[in-house]
Structure formats: C-alpha cells, structure tokens
Amino acid sequence: MAHSNTNYNLDQKYEFSAGLKKSIFIVLGIGAVILIAGIIAAMFGGHDQGHGDEAGHAFHWYHRLYANIWINNVYFTGIAVIGVFFFAIQYAAQAGWSTPLLRVFLAFGNWLPIAAVLMLVSFFLFNHDLFHWTHSYLFDKTGPEYDPIIDGKGSYFYWPMEKGTFPLFFIVRMVAFFGFWVFFFNKLKTLSFEQDIQGGNEYFYRMRKWSALFLIFFAVSSSIAAWDWVLSIDTHWFSTMFGWYVFASWFVAGLSAITLVTLYLKGQGYLEMVNENHIHDLGKFVFAFSIFWTYIWFSQFLLIYYAHIPEETFYFVERLQSDVYSPYIFVNLGLNFVLPFLVLMTRDAKRLGVFLKLVCSLIILGHWFDFFLMVQPGTLGQNGGFGLMEIGMLLVYASAFAFVLMSNLAKGNLIAKNHPMLEESYHHHI
C-alpha cells in the first residue's frame, strides 16, 4: 500500500474545459426555454381565477414564478453552505481521509455571495406574495383580518419597528447570516491557499480554530434561517424539529453534489490519489444521512400525528389530502429514503461510480422536491404543482451553480498540497 509523495502531481490544477462550459450553457439555455414556456402556459392557462389564498386574493401566474425562485434560492444556498460546513468539519475533527477532497468541498462556498444577493433582492421584490405575515392588516386589532397568532409572533419579524411596517429584525438576520457565512468561507479559503505557499502546520491549527468558530455559528444560524426562510411561510404552524429537518435535507443534497463533482473530476483524470476507499466514505455519508433525514421526517410526522393538535396537523393535512401535493410526498420519500437505502446498502455499491452517480443525481432532485413541498402549499395553496416552470427554473439554477462551482475550482490547486495529513490520506483503506 505504501506510496511516496512523488507518485502524485500535487500542483495539479483543474482545467474548466470548453466542452463542459458548452454543456452547462446548453442546459442553462434549455432550462430558460422551458421556464419561458412554463410562464407563457401559466399566463394563458386560465389559472388566474384560482381558488384564492387564505386572505381571499386572486392567484396570478407570477405567484408561482416567485415561489419557484424562492425554492431554488433556499435550496442552492443550502448546498453551497454545506460545502463550507463539511470542509470545516474535516478540520474540527482533524480528519485525514478527506485531505485530497478539501478543495472540492470548499469550492461550493463560492455560490454564497450570489445566493445572498438573490435572497435579499427576491425578498424585497415579492415578500407579500410569499410570506403571509408581511401584510399589515393582520396586525390591525380593529380590522376584520386581524390574526392574533401572527400578531403574537410579529416582534420576531419586525422588532424594533412597528408590526406590519418594515421587517427589520428579519432582514438583519438574513444579512448577518450571509455576511458571516461569506466571511468564514473567505477566511478558510484564504488560509487554505496560503498554506499551499507557506507550508508548515501553523495554518492547519488556524483553520481548525476558524472551523470550530464557523461550526458554532452555523449550528445556530442554519436553524434560525430555516425558521425564517421556510417555516414562517406557514406562520400558524410550528415544529420544534424544523431546523434539524432543513439542515438534514440540505446536508444530504450537499453530500450528493460533492460526490458527483468528485466522481466527475476522477473520471477526467484528476484527483489521482482519491481511491475507491475515499469514494466509499462519501457513499457512506450519503447513505447514513439519507437515513438521518428520514428519521427526522418520520419523527416530525409521528409527533404531530399522534398528538393530533389541530394547529399542528393542518400542515400535513394540507399536503396529504391535496390532489396537487400528495403524490410528491411519496416521490419525496421514494427518492430520498427508499432508493438510497436499497441501492447503497451493500459495500460494493458505495464503491462503484455508476451506482453513486445515479443515486446522488436522484437525491439532488428528491431534496429539491422536499423544499418544493415545504414552500409551495403555503405560498400557492392548491394552485401549485410541478410543471414546465419548475423544471426550467431548476435547470437554470443548477447550471448557474455548476458554472460558478467549476470556474472557481479551476482558479487554484486542486489538492491542499501542504496539509499535514496528506500522507495519511494516501494510505486510507476501509
């Protein structure tokens, strides 16, 4: 098994080939065409009458567009921040196996500044169409639309401003979370590339310290972000497990994306020191956290099911008894639990690229459906669905994300060549 460092090219750089760029732009173009077709179909599809939402407002085609933008914003933000999170975990745990893959994890964070702009701009542009709590009439105690439950939660969004005016506290949180995530990402990225030049163990310890700080901040911020950006859509409902639930969904999707990028690079002749044992580890992570996500899904469902408290059960009733959404609950469980559980159970399956490529691609789609089910019923009522607009928007976001990821991966060394645990990774065997 013994290898010496000389067997590998540690200064290897990834070349973002013209062929791959072309493929990404073709997918982006196809996505844009499908999206426009979906918008036109919705505009002339007679959906405008709709059933009206809770407050009795007419439903328009652009509400569905806004909901789709929000689903993809939140979903791809999560995949990006999970890359940084997984990178930080390797340093905090002083893990050696993952050393040649660290730059792949880190590259995901390059989407975060773009995600920050997309989230803030889209919130300012169409918050009233997504978030019921943004309507001022809900806080007017004398008005017919007054909602005591939302009024009770109003300070969480509006403090220190008057309820129903400008959600300052909400915006401050969003800016702070993205600000710190981008700050920690840039700090870790700078230290990681600095280590390539300077060598020595000092950078490893500094990155371990910054990683630990990031993990503490991420633990709190990811949970609150889940309440703010997703849970508050269904303002009356609450779940004490929701932060964990969104994190689990993000984490499995992020791990699947990391695995796909690793397999792609390996297939192109990069990352020569990554062997089937490293791939097996990624497969184990995907397998394990698919089950973890299912455990959280089931726990949340079971607690609400047997307590049978009306203000909790309506969240599931709205989805399970709906002609529009109920089929996707089974799609969600099928793609995110049944498929990875059955396919990745054996040792061999976790070591074979062909199985992992299939499962990871379907999991990324599956967890998109998870966010689709979290966002659409609360924003669109029964006027949602999965059609051209959803497919087009997902392709546009996924290809833009892939372009940002790959172009940044090409900017520096692929391997953290002066990492003190590189030697350990050569001999990694499970």
**Is there a contact between 74 and 393 (Cβ–Cβ < 8 Å)?**
no
The position carrying tokens 């569905």 is 64
pLDDT at 46: 57
Q: Give this prediction's pTM.
A: 0.95
Q: Side chain identity at 345, as an amino acid letter?
A: M
pLDDT at 106: 98
pLDDT at 9: 85
Q: CA 167, CA 241: separation in Å to the nearest integer? A: 25
pLDDT at 215: 98
**Is there a contact between 174 and 151 (Cβ–Cβ < 8 Å)?**
no
**Is there a contact between 132 and 55 (Cβ–Cβ < 8 Å)?**
yes
**Is there a contact between 428 and 31 (Cβ–Cβ < 8 Å)?**
no
Tokens of 349: 């399956």
**Is there a contact between 158 and 127 (Cβ–Cβ < 8 Å)?**
no
pLDDT tens, residue order, the chain (430 aa): 444 555 788 899 999 999 999 999 999 999 999 999 999 999 998 544 444 444 446 789 999 999 999 999 999 999 999 999 999 999 999 999 999 999 999 999 999 999 999 999 999 999 999 999 999 999 999 999 999 999 999 999 999 999 999 999 999 999 999 999 999 999 999 999 999 999 989 999 999 999 999 999 999 999 999 999 999 999 999 999 999 999 999 999 999 999 999 999 999 999 999 999 999 999 999 999 999 999 999 999 999 999 999 889 999 999 999 999 999 999 999 999 999 999 999 999 999 999 999 999 999 999 999 999 999 999 999 999 999 999 999 999 999 999 999 999 999 999 999 999 999 998 999 8
pLDDT at 241: 95
Domain boundaries, the chain: 12-48+65-426
Q: Side chain identity at 90, as an amino acid letter?
A: Q
| CB-based contacts of 188, cutoff 8 Å, min separation 6 | 84, 87, 88, 106, 109, 207, 210, 211, 214
